[in-house]
Structure 1
């Protein structure tokens, strides 16, 4: 496969990107921290668009259906990103996959890339983000369709699963597909039993390896990734909003929620109470309501990590903060500001007064430091020629490494 030659490392275009399905701009924030410059942002959600414009301005923002955009709307860039809707791919959705009306908007994004290819303006790199369900939806056909679509535009592909927990106290695994249409030097490097380092990185777990083995005809190109951070700098207690006038559950609601705590979740709460009494310190737990065997359960975490933030408006979709004091237990829903902190944004980031709108906006967003890490990896590869990916155009027998 003939691949596009790299632009000069001194070309300022290497630092420019366009983002589709931009949401409230957390992909932008993450890439800006990695030294990228946004020249186009598009989303179809007016509420998210207001949050985006309040934080980044309107200069490069287009609030419109992606179906109404064309290659002519996209400036020359080195990177385009797409965090297309996940509802049809999520386990919480109806799993229609890319055939669904919402997740199917991915094909409008591909239409724009094809138009850029016709105009000989394809960017060197494409970054696609979505939920882990993308790896298995439609029995693996959806991820294959994406990979094939990128290959048809001469992009070789890398697939990563990166969990925000490496950077923030939130468990939030997300799939990132990186398409690289780049020149290469010398022969291709194959991954064999003697050289399986690509699968030794924790961002290519077994779920990614299964996609690899199921699609041997795909043109693969694995980046030489840096290690993930060794130590996460914060726990959930560090991000708690301690301002006055929080909406704590009243006694009847508190007693109801306590009655939902069962089995191991109940043991975790009792342990937290013992720790709080013996140490005199406040202990923080996070919790979500779930249905288990026909019963409402409030499942707790005591590892200093929040569960994956969600967007739903129902009470079961709102994450609960449990504050265990030496002499009492308090509960409330996490605030929109806490959601923002769990996604890695500073408190100066503007959010609306409505808690439900703020939680919805952040629950549908990406973790900023994850995007920064990936953005640095892409930038490093583009700028530093020695950081070549491992290309896998010819698949031989590969040793699977469990990570």
Structure 2
């Protein structure tokens, strides 16, 4: 990358934004990035001053990142916690956008469907983070092309999947590092073929080192939630998941996230009411629904299946909170004693279960909130991953800054 390209990356401008800001055509910008032409000194000085201003404005900002498939910003919180500055966000769900904007008011406008975004319009960045949904890859389709003698390259095995969009952004911008998140079963999906394709694309075709680890959130929050973290570095780095500080599993229990209902917290919205902030009766299951869930569980138990509801109390670690929680809440029902039907968690309790602080604003309906928290990452898990990534990111960014200083 040319000196100008490195300056543009540090300033956080996309090609389109740079062309508009500097009053030159995008063609000029691309030629300067490639090093085919050299920009005027006044252009270089302007970018250098802006970079200096950014550093002075927020000394805690040490690197830039983009937040793809952002949801409500769980991975952003992890990266901001270790000195990152978000320069671009993509999230297609309008309700998730509402929650994201309510909690990150300084964010630029959120881009919608990443499939419709051109990679060159995304600002350059040091780190890419993405909690991308897993879709199956058409391995058979590639085999068919081979049989027909048709070539297939970078795009073919993943085209049409959302992982493809992660790849094309990585390929265009070549950030120093990435952090990807997905379900534990990604490794075993389609007998391991899906993960095999992912690894080959990231390692062999893009040249990144790749580290993977399945982590159970129950070490950080009172919820059994296994997710895979995928960390990659463009250049050699001594990153290791062995450097994670993993608390003992079970130190956090449901009592740590449930409303105390004793007046020690203020009532909030319609979640809790009265001077003691007791949970609203709207979260208690109706006799009909509770009867149905008990019958359903008994039926499957008799058949030797493990399906059924998950009943918790203050001493429990819950099952995995899912995006379908809004339907009946069956995976995590809070016991209210034998005299009363169990209840669902409130959205605030779901936020706590995912590791969000109570300062998180929840501007959407309960239904949308349940979906959002069920789809979210457990923030403390990825905050710890980001902590271990930080020195290696800074090393890569520092080398880039040194190159710029040397060229100047």
Question: Which of 150, 165, 187 is the equivalent residue of 1:135?
Answer: 187
CA distance in 2, matches of 1:35, 1:383: 10
Name the counterpart of 1:44: 92
**Range 53-62 or range 223-232, more displaced:** 223-232
> 1:310–1:318: 8 Å Cα contact kept in structure 2?
no
SS of 2:232's partner is strand
Name the counterpart of 1:281: none
Do the aligned partners of residues 184 and 57 (structure 1) sit closer, same or farther apart at CA in structure 2, a change above 3 Å counting? Answer: closer
Deviation at 1:25, TM superposition (A): 0.8
Deviations 1:260-290 (A, max 9, x none): 5559xxxxxxxxxxxxxxxxxxxxxxxxx99
Name the counterpart of 1:109: 166
Question: Which of 317, 328, 347 is the equivalent residue of 1:336?
Answer: 347
> 1:22–1:82: 8 Å Cα contact kept in structure 2?
yes
SS of 2:377's partner is coil
- Please give the TM-score of this superposition, normalised by the length of structure 1: 0.66
Question: Which of 211, 214, 237 is the equivalent residue of 2:255?
Answer: 237
Deviation at 1:128, TM superposition (A): 1.2
1:369 aligns with 2:380: yes
Question: Which of 224, 228, 238 is the equivalent residue of 2:246?
Answer: 228
Moved over 4 A (4+): 11-14, 98-102, 221-224, 258-263, 289-296
Deviation at 1:177, TM superposition (A): 1.1
CA distance in 1, matches of 2:209, 2:177: 10
SS of 2:343's partner is strand
Deviation at 1:292, TM superposition (A): 6.0
> 1:131–1:174: 8 Å Cα contact kept in structure 2?
yes
> 2:75–2:130: 8 Å Cα contact kept in structure 1?
no
Higher relative contact order (CA closer than 8 Å, sequence separation 6+) = 1
Name the counterpart of 1:323: 335
1:64 aligns with 2:141: no
Structure 1: unaligned runs, 5 residues or longer: 1-6, 90-97, 117-121, 186-220, 264-288, 386-403
Deviation at 1:42, TM superposition (A): 0.7
CA distance in 1, matches of 2:294, 2:116: 50
Name the counterpart of 1:180: 233
Name the counterpart of 1:390: none
Deviations 1:167-219 (A, max 9, x none): 0001111011111112469xxxxxxxxxxxxxxxxxxxxxxxxxxxxxxxxxx
SS of 1:178's partner is strand
Question: Which of 191, 197, 209 is the equivalent residue of 1:156?
Answer: 209
Do the aligned partners of residues 358 and 77 (structure 1) sit closer, same or farther apart at CA in structure 2, a change above 3 Å counting? Answer: same
Structure 2: unaligned runs, 5 residues or longer: 1-8, 11-54, 138-155, 262-271, 274-279, 397-408
CA distance in 2, matches of 1:47, 1:108: 22
CA distance in 2, matches of 1:170, 1:254: 23
CA distance in 1, matches of 2:329, 2:185: 18
Deviation at 1:233, TM superposition (A): 4.8
CA distance in 2, matches of 1:370, 1:301: 22
- Please give the TM-score of this superposition, normalised by the length of structure 2: 0.65
Do the aligned partners of residues 100 and 74 (structure 1) sit closer, same or farther apart at CA in structure 2, a change above 3 Å counting? Answer: closer
CA distance in 1, matches of 2:234, 2:158: 28
Pairing of 1:83-122 with structure 2 (within 5 A): 83-86=131-134, 104-116=161-173, 122=174
Deviation at 1:323, TM superposition (A): 2.0
Name the counterpart of 2:356: 345
SS of 2:341's partner is strand
> 2:312–2:333: 8 Å Cα contact kept in structure 1?
no
1:246 aligns with 2:298: no
Question: Which of 76, 80, 83 is the equivalent residue of 2:128?
Answer: 80
1:308 aligns with 2:356: no
CA distance in 1, matches of 2:185, 2:393: 29
Normalized per residue, which structure has more helix?
Answer: 2
1:126 aligns with 2:178: yes
Do the aligned partners of residues 131 and 162 (structure 1) sit closer, same or farther apart at CA in structure 2, a change above 3 Å counting? Answer: same
Name the counterpart of 1:168: 221
